Structure 1
Amino acid sequence: MRFRNDTRGIGVARLFFSLVTSVGLGLAAGTAFLIVRGPFFAGPSLAPFPMMAALAVFIVGIVVLMWGSTRLFGVGTGA
């Protein structure tokens, strides 16, 4: 099955990549708040190991966000 041939309604592929993009955005925004809340919002900073875990999840969230959004909008398909 080719993803770009799904032309009925919103399409299963567009729905899936919208969900992937939303999950990536949620991961990136949630962990970004955990990383900057100490220095910028006068809250407690995370300990070193949870801070590194939050940074790793932030990077994964950015990668998932970019992958989902490029597939959703068809960037690089040559269409």
Structure 2
Amino acid sequence: MSNTSSLEPHWDTASMGLPADISSTERSALSEHLSLCCAQRGPLQSLRVGASEMGGVLAGRVVTSLLVIVLLVGGSWLML
């Protein structure tokens, strides 16, 4: 008994039967694009990423986050 599958993928690539290889012009364009992207990332990028992660944590725990914020504001108000 053989286990051959008749559900093999039947699709073609955009390489039209040729080896799918990247050309030197495509490689240099990609390198230039990645260099520009890395150059645009400044020190604010890490701040944006941190704020986004904090927003995700806070969104998942709305009630707990509100309680912590109220406690922090109340505690700082009592210290004044």
Normalization by structure 1: what TM-score? 0.29
Structure whose alpha-carbon radius of gyration is higher: 2
Q: Which has the higher helix share?
A: 1
Normalization by structure 2: what TM-score? 0.29
